[in-house]
Structure 1
Amino acid sequence: MKVEQKGHTTIIKDTHGETAAFLNTLQHEHNSYKNENLILDLSHDKNLKLEDIKAFADLIKQHKKQKKSIVLVTDSIDFNAVPQSITVVPTILEAHDIIEMEEIERDLGF
């Protein structure tokens, strides 16, 4: 796991390609990141399945209660099959764009 701070956003990369272990680690360390916008880079896991993405639902729900954004990055799944409550994009640049838009929406009171 590699952690990188970029502005008001923290990028956490799964460097081993083991999504289940990565999620478990994130759940244990969530208090460290609960007040930051998160980009979770899962692009190292080329065997990622929709079920793996859905496993993040509880963590995402918990994080959004803090009025912070959380975006998953991978290009190895069908984006149309992902539930609307989970934001998944193919690149880190797009993840930053989503977070910026969500920050603006929060500032405007949406």
Structure 2
Amino acid sequence: MIYETRVYRCIPGRLPALLKRFETTTLKLWEKHGIKQAGFFTTLVGESNQELTYILAWESLADREKKWSAFATDPEWLAARAKTEEDGQIVGNIVNQLLVPTAFSAMK
């Protein structure tokens, strides 16, 4: 397994719109494409409380490439994303990392 952490840094005041988009749209499309999430988090203490961090679980890099590409080009996703951004851009910046668990990690 490999894990991907993604941190979405929202435009100020737009975090509620991002959370709603994930809850009502994105997760359903991920299910359609076989994308598995390991957890979602908002920042309680840190640099900004306008961030959403989440972790995805992948079988391999090839698994990630196949599933993420299919999701990113899905016409249903592209339309939903455009609709949710009619009131303006939601995310200002995305930072992601692909991680491999250590031998002593609780997540394998």
What TM-score do the two structures reach when normalised by structure 2?
0.29
Bigger relative contact order (CA 8 A; separation at least 6): 2
